[in-house]
Amino acid sequence: MASKKKRNGEPDREGSEQPPQHPSPRSSIWRNRSKGDDPASPEEEQAKVDSLRSALGSLTDKSQRYCTDACLKRYLRARNWNLKKAEKMLKDSLKWRATFKPESIRWEDIAIESETGKVYRANFVDNYGRAILIMRPARQNTKDQNGQIRQLVYCLENAVLNLPPDQEQMVWLIDFHGWSVSNSVPLSAARETANVLQNHYPERLGVAILYNPPRIFEAFWAVIKPFLDPKTYKKVKFVYSKDPDSVKLLEDVFDMEKLDTSFGGRGNCEYNHEDYGRMMKQDDVKMQEHWR
């Protein structure tokens, strides 16, 4: 009997197959905010931003640069505009950034982790102007969990650096070709990935597309799912190349002329380590200038 899929696209271990839903680009899946969570007016929104900034107290120059109004709004949205919760979340992020120093990671620090192209930024944006991180977990090439997280953080910072001025979010496009339990990352690394994304890059993920995950991934997903907050969970979409609704979703999100053939597109964005390294070194210069 074929594998069943729930209406939200998540695998279901019982029964036959049902295609994942294809949300409208105007739906909250794409806008990632609930109308009920919004302040009543722009003035009320700005008042909450000002209150959060006041609650942060004295900040270092680097933290001040990080805490733009747009940044504070992302933390407030992530906590449904609850000032106390947003304050705690942001202060925790500032402590993490002061220790982890994500803006100081350079290409040479993570080049070994990047050799196989397991995570990299595509050289084009999606139809909504969002940066695209392509992930191929079957290409895992190290057992250094700290190095893996540093590479992910480097890619997140690089994606943010390259966002157009009117866009705050990115897309994760995860290719499961060749994935198996034997070459998957440890659950501890998967949990830390969720922690970093949700708690230190709030509202940065637009959608995460899991492309052709195998049936055996269901067990892995069942363990990871409880570590995702509801907002992040709703952004995860299971996409299958033989399902018409999945194809429509990809066509809505991506320019199929640019999307790689491995995802059903007509482009070529396959990873080349030397070319990508040159691009990242140029971006490292931009990153240094940004935080100077």
Angstrom CA distances, 176 to 121, 283, 292, stand at: 17, 28, 39
Class of domain 115-291: alpha beta
112-140 pLDDT tens trace: 999 999 999 999 999 999 999 999 999 99
181-219 pLDDT tens trace: 888 888 888 899 999 999 999 999 999 999 999 988 988
Q: In the chain, what are the domain boundaries?
A: 37-100, 115-291
Residue 276: predicted pLDDT = 97
Residue 113: predicted pLDDT = 97
Mean pLDDT score, 32-37: 46
Ranges of H-type helices in 102-186: 107-110, 145-161
Tokens of 270: 């396959």
Does residue 28 or residue 87 have the better pLDDT?
A: 87
**Is residue 179 classed exposed, middle or buried when 0-12, 13-18 and 19+ CB atoms within 10 A define those classes?**
buried
CATH code for the structural domain at 37-100: 1.10.8
Distance separating alpha carbons of residues 33 and 43, to the nearest angstrom: 18
Residue 24: predicted pLDDT = 41
* Contact partners, residue 159, CB within 8 Å, separation at least 6: 121, 131, 133, 170
Q: Do domains 37-100 and 115-291 have the same CATH topology?
A: no
What amino acid is encoded at 290 in this protein? H
Residue 26 pLDDT class (50, 70, 90 cuts): very low
Q: Provide the percentage of residues in the chain whose pLDDT is more than 90.
A: 76
